[in-house]
């Protein structure tokens, strides 16, 4: 069976340490999202917050989810197989 590849968007990047693909956001976008998520979590009951880490959302988590790398390059189609899930990383390359 041939390997299927998907189109890579302008904002997707590849980790230089391990090769995982993520989508890039600016530090300002990450900080805004963290503030928004912390505000949302504050509205939930303790039971509804189950599954969230005690520290909650943090800008420091916007790194490669495979290796915690933070050095990236623009992604190419062959970097990411069809059906892969990508996460947000801070990169303003």
pLDDT (tens digit per residue) in 57-91? 999 999 999 999 999 999 998 888 877 888 999 99
β-partners of residue 25 are: 90
Q: Which pLDDT band, with edges at 50, 70 and 90, does 7 fall under? A: low
Three-state SS string over 16-85 comes to: CCCCCEEEEECHHHHHHHHHHHHHHHHCCCCCCCCCCCCCCCCHHHCCCCCCCCCCEEECCHHHCECCCC
Segments making up each domain of the chain, as ranges:
12-90
Nearest to 21 by CA among 9, 33, 29: 9
Tokens matching residue 36: 């928004």
Note the pLDDT of residue 82.
77
pLDDT tops 70 at residue 52: yes
Q: Which two tokens stand for residue 86?
A: 């990508």
């Amino acid at each position: 069976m041939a390997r299927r590849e998907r189109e890579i968007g302008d904002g997707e990047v590849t980790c230089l340490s391990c090769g995982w693909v993520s989508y890039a956001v600016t530090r300002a976008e990450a900080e805004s999202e963290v503030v928004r998520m912390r505000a949302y979590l504050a509205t939930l009951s303790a039971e509804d917050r189950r599954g969230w880490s005690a520290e909650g959302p943090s800008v420091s988590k916007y790194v490669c989810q495979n290796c915690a790398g933070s050095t990236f390059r623009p992604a190419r189609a062959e970097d990411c197989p069809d059906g892969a899930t990508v996460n947000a990383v801070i990169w303003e390359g």
